[in-house]
Structure 1
Amino acid sequence: MPDVTALLVDQERNPPQDLLTALAHADVAVEIRTPDEAVAAAVGGPAPAAEVLLAPAAMQPRAVRAVSRRMSESGRTPIVVVYADQDFTTIEQHIRLGHDYIVPPFLPPLVRARLRSCYERAKLSRTMEEVAAQAELLSYERELKIGREIQEGFLPEGLPTLDGWDLDVRFSPARNVAGDFYDVFEMVNRRRLALVVADVCDKGVGAALFMALIRSLLRHTAEHSGLQNLMTTHQPTVSSDHSPVIPVVGATPLMNAVVGTNGYLTRNHSGQGYFATMFFSVLDPATGSLVYINGGHNPPLLVAAEGGDPQPLEPTGPAVGVIPDCAFSLGHAQVRPGDTLFVYTDGVPEARNAEGEFFGDERVLQLLREPAPSGRALLERVESALREHSGAAEQHDDITMMAVHRTVTPG
């Protein structure tokens, strides 16, 4: 048996002398403490570190377990072995808990053989536990990989190519799966382009499941809505300068998609507590007219061709999935040649560096005050600034960015 250390807990500090002698012959270094001393040993110092915990069988099992747990906090779970030299009936309750035991005569060869058996059995048990834990971890990683692949299937395989327009996206989950999502798809007989960026509260697997649900509801409803006029129960359409705007083609599918998704979530999933902020817009590529609903999302920024302070597209309603039967207004904006629409989730301003400092909204605005020659160029500018700010710090939130640039018409 290899040299080992043992912590012997005895309230009287008076274990059988023949047991101590046998342990010494078995090359076991023994430290004797009372149970209270063993539990309190970490006050001002480390927990007792020993391979074997020896205790009299007369000691209450819960007291033995308390010492064992305290020792485990040092990173090593001890082998628990109880001994009895008189009342052997007390051993039974320890055996039920999986503790090993030794009984007289405490002859060196017998103690050595018994402890070797306990040591090898515990070693095998730990190896099996480690194998099981590793198998569980691999299974979990496989499940996450499958989840990631499924989630990627809900994102567009590519972005449409439109004359006069340059679209680009960046999508960076904080974990294997994300609560953020984006979508770009044609609708209204390919006359309009739907642009969606959304952020489901929380992150991880739960948020990813709701991401898939919300994305499917939005797209399915928008693609299958008719071209009828807006219902009178909807809030009026307003432009970015708050003036009335004549309803445009694509507004009805947009409104139906957001209102329908909000109704479904509040009716069927309010108990889960998940909701999503989102910016859902419908673009007329021919004119640059943009009608949108901003459901509690951080305002996208419209960057003018000549630069200057970007124009925010403020919320027109609450987050989706929070308030039943709530009203959403339609906003309107105009993307002129040379303009770029920048849509992003809060993972951008809330990106942190190693000191915990946020990237911040002002940095985002500063980056967008200069015009961009393309959507890709704008995203690369922001992406580079985020990398410089965050450094090697862990990413705390999903980051999604979309840039929609209208190219300058050749003169």
Structure 2
Amino acid sequence: MDEKILNKLAVEAGNVLERVEMIKSIEQRKKLEQELTLAEETQRTLLPQTFPKVQNLNLHAFSKPTRYVGGDFYDFVELETGELAGVLADVSGKGISASLLSSMLLGCLQMQLRANVPVNESLNRLNRFLCEKSSSSRFVTMFLFTLDSKGSGQYISAGHNPTYLFHAASGDIEEIVSNNMIVGAFPSINYEAARLQLNKGDVLLAYSDGLTEAENPQGEMLGEERVKAIIRAEAPAGSTNLERKLLEGIHNFTMGRSQTDDITIVIVERV
């Protein structure tokens, strides 16, 4: 054959092979996206589909992973005592590996709380379990709390970012800072709970750091001060209003910029 013909055939063969590989790549990507969508649905079903009805407490929660699945989780459990137990946790890392670990930890914690194990002992057991089953680079920050119908309870903040408590009587925001070690670092840690009190009209806001680290197109973070400004302005009108205005605030600030971290919010109002 003529050399030009051979060269042309070689180029055409190369193009065909490239198209075949592209089709394979597209099909594989579609299959992966389908599997990720299924994983997202599965992870979402592990979160509460309905919230417990506890007298004098209004509950709200929102969670959005960076893409498909993430490492944040929250839960509400009504204890046999009639108290509410709530948790918001942030597993280190992102994506599939973080989501697998968060789903496992959520299931373990649910079992402890539903068996009426005290919150501090539930966290002791969860910590030992994580230390045994996971690498040292994997850990969890967590805000775990209980409340009764009078707004009295206790909390453990395990290496978590500040939780905000809006006091309706004064309009002040109390920052509830971490009072315990992160979960999964040291197996011998004993977690201790501190007192928590919500008076009528008070609003508790726990969140993962994806909220304050949400970025606008200029790369500026939302930050704690903007979040607190929204709380001061909107919490007096109630928790439903606060949740709506907070989500609007995130949307307006980021202006469509993609998330850099999972965002999860838990709001409790004493009414």
TM-score range, shorter chain: over 0.9
1:260 aligns with 2:152: no
How many residues were matched structurally?
270
Match of 2:173 in 1: 310
1:307: how far off? 4.7
> Any idea what the Cα deviations from partners look like across 1:354-375, whole Å, max 9, x if unmatched?
1111111111222222443322
- Structure 2 letter corresponding to 1:180: D
Match of 2:138 in 1: 274
Amino acid at match of 2:188: D
| AA at the equivalent of 1:318 | M
Q: Secondary structure at the match of 1:270?
A: coil
Q: CA deviation at 1:268?
A: 2.2
TM-fit CA distance, 1:151: 0.5
Matched residue, 1:284: 148
State the partner residue of 1:210.
101
- Measured in 2, the distance between the counterparts of 1:136 and 1:278 equals 36
One-letter amino acid of the structure 2 residue matched with residue 263 of structure 1: R
Counterpart CA distance in 2 for 1:203 and 1:390 is 20
The whole-number CA distance in structure 2 between the counterparts of 1:270 and 1:256 is: 22
Instruction: Tell me, in whole angstroms, the C-alpha distance in 2 between the residues paired with 1:298 and 1:352.
Output: 18
Matched, 1:135 2:27: yes
Is contact 1:270–1:322 with CA below 8 Å preserved after alignment? no
Question: What runs of 5+ residues in structure 2 fail to find an aligned partner?
Answer: none
Tell me, in whole angstroms, the C-alpha distance in 2 between the residues paired with 1:201 and 1:404. Answer: 25
Which residue identity lines up with residue 339 of structure 1 in the other structure?
A: D
* Higher fraction of helix: 2
Residue in 1 that maps onto 2:91? 200
Contact between 2:71 and 2:102, CA under 8 Å: does it hold in 1? yes
Higher relative contact order (CA 8 A, sep 6+): 2
1:358-373 equivalence runs, <5 A: 358-370=221-233, 371-373=235-237
* Offset, 1:270: 2.6
Aligned residues of 1:219 and 1:257 also touching (Cα < 8 A): no
* AA aligned opposite 2:120: M
1:397 aligns with 2:261: yes
Provide the residue aligned with 1:387 in structure 2. 251
User: Runs in 1 of length 4+ with deviation above 3 angstroms?
Assistant: none
Partner Cα distance (1:275, 1:362) in 2? 27
2:246, 2:182 → 1: CA distance? 26
Match of 1:321 in 2: 184
Query: 1:169·1:402 contact (CA, 8 Å) conserved in 2?
Result: yes
Q: Which is higher, the Rg of structure 1 or of structure 2?
A: 1
**1:338 and 2:201 matched:** yes
Query: Considering only aligned residues, what root-mean-square deviation do their CA atoms show, in Å?
Result: 1.5
Quick one: distance in 2 between partners of 1:386 and 1:318? 29
Q: 1:150 is matched with which residue?
A: 42
Which TM-score applies when normalising by structure 2?
Answer: 0.95
What is the identity percentage for the equivalent residue pairs of Structure 1 and Structure 2?
30
Describe how 1:170-249 pairs up with structure 2 within 5 A: 170-187=62-79, 189=80, 191-225=82-116
What is the CA-CA distance between 1:120 and the residue it aligns to?
2.0
Q: What's the CA shift for 1:331?
A: 1.1
Structure 2 match to 1:53: none
Helix, strand or coil at the partner of 2:261: coil
Task: Give ranges in structure 1 of 5+ residues lacking alignment.
Answer: 1-108, 227-252
